[in-house]
Amino acid sequence: MTGTTTTGAVAGRTVWRFAADGVAAVDDQVAVEAPLEIRVNGRGYAVTMRTPGHDLDLAAGFLVSEGVVGAGSDLSTVSVVEDAEGGVVDASVVGPGAMVAMDRQRHVYTTSSCGVCGLASIDAVTTTSRFDVTRDDVEVTAHVVGALPDLLREAQAAFDATGGLHAAGLFAADGRLVAVREDVGRHNAVDKVVGNAVRQGLLPLAGHVLQVSGRASFELVQKAAMAGIPVLAAVSAPSSLAVDLAEQAGVTLVAFSRRGAFNVYSHPQRIT
């Protein structure tokens, strides 16, 4: 199959559509998936499959979830080395994070469906956040929580074109949209949102809600805790490990958030 043009997150392709009245060749759009190499202080750290766009945010947010970066001051610079579908980003990390990066260097690439694949040690998965989320006493009304999936969906421009991208949205406690990012990987979308915040010096993200378009997995709870986000909400199901980690880390975990109704699996006191 030959394609047409590729622009950012969306690629044009020719498809053969089969229907009751026959077969026709039509133009279609699909989500782009391509590798991004993340370097720390000039050395290869990880390769992740992602949707091109907001690559600096992705790299910064990824390093927050890894425990390499905990504040904007840890990130001296982050720059594009190669700007292409298969791109390279180099982050200049100062302080103790540089040593953490050496200790936690990944040995294989990360797929767009896996946020913790390839770690050199399984012990590294249980990274301890620099922020104590249990102390965050933010309150969010049930009305706001129930409205977030629709607010996120309205902001998914690339999904409208392809139907093939996940999204993560950062919201204030009153439901105000702070940032939204899309990607073929759930965890990449979250990293892009967190990276946008760390590059603006906004960590920890106390008093915020992270709404995601898919299920609530272990790695998404971990990323929320690492960024100091007290509430994580998902439109689909949580895993048992996600619930356990949310309880342990102090994250309010909301799932099955659809049509104004939802379940709360941990720390329900924040939902009023």
Report, as residue numbers or ranges, the catalytic residues.
114
Token pair 């990276």 is found at 195
- Name the DSSP letter for residue 140: B
Distance (Å, rounded) from C-alpha 166 to C-alpha 155?
12
Distance (Å, rounded) from C-alpha 158 to C-alpha 66?
27
204 preceded by a cis bond (ω within 30 of 0): yes
Phi, psi of 98, deg, nearest 5: -65, -40
> Which residues does 107 contact at the CB level (< 8 Å), separation at least 6?
118, 120
- Name the DSSP letter for residue 130: S
Query: What's the token pair of residue 234?
Result: 């998902």
Task: Decide: 86 and 34 in contact? Cβ < 8 Å.
Answer: yes
Q: At what angle do helices 186-199 and 218-226 cross, to 10 degrees?
A: 0
Distance (Å, rounded) from C-alpha 167 to C-alpha 177?
13
Distance (Å, rounded) from C-alpha 58 to C-alpha 64?
10
